Amino acid sequence: NRTATPAQVSSALTTAATPNVVGNPGSGSPNRLLYVGGGTTTPPGPKFENTADYAISDNATVESPVTVSGVAGNAPAALQVPVGIVHTYIGDLQVQLIAPDGTAYTLKSYGTGGSSDNINTTYTVNASSEAANGTWKLRVSDNARYDTGRIDTWGLQF
């Protein structure tokens, strides 16, 4: 409910949770288990992915393609982009989604993530101005020496 106040959200979550089932909840815990529904949620549309490894060399850029076909119209306003990158210093990396028309959407900028290892996350991109069908690319640029890695997997969830 996008119009709910923080107090209303808190109340709704607390009311929907199951009380007194958390083992060793600790002092001050409300001792409630949040109910998130049964079963699995069906993705809203098709998923396209590339699971081939693409090496990320020092001071270089690499692109991994995914070809989308059979999807009518434009991409969604909440296009999900799951990304798995193996790298020993992610602050060196810029990660961009490149649309079929060449438009670049920056998912992660240089410097963010510092000395952390690996990127395993899903980004959300408003790609509603882009045709869904065509070749999309994940572009990863490394701007420093000493740490290398690979694009392990990535995809587009429509």
| pLDDT band at 110; cut points 50, 70, 90 | very high
Q: 4-8, 29-33, 76-80: which range is least confident on average? A: 29-33
Residue, of 157 and 114, whose pLDDT is higher:
157
Residues 71 and 35 occupy one common structural domain: no
**Cα 1 to Cα 10, 13, 110, 149, distances in angstroms:** 12, 12, 35, 41
| pLDDT band at 42; cut points 50, 70, 90 | very low
pLDDT at 8: 81
Q: Is the pLDDT of residue 67 over 80?
A: yes
Residues 93 and 134 occupy one common structural domain: yes
d(CA 73, CA 21): 47
Residues 24 and 80 occupy one common structural domain: no
Q: What is the pLDDT of residues 121-131, one digit of tens each?
A: 999 999 999 99
The closest alpha carbon to 17, from 3, 30, 34, 1, belongs to: 34
Residue, of 38 and 85, whose pLDDT is higher:
85
d(CA 136, CA 57): 21
Residues 28 and 52 occupy one common structural domain: no
Residues 68 and 129 occupy one common structural domain: yes
CATH code at 110?
2.60.120.260
Domain that holds residue 56: 47-157
Residues 37 and 107 occupy one common structural domain: no
Task: For residue 63, give the amino acid letter.
Answer: E
Total structural domains within the chain: 2
Residues 59 and 34 occupy one common structural domain: no
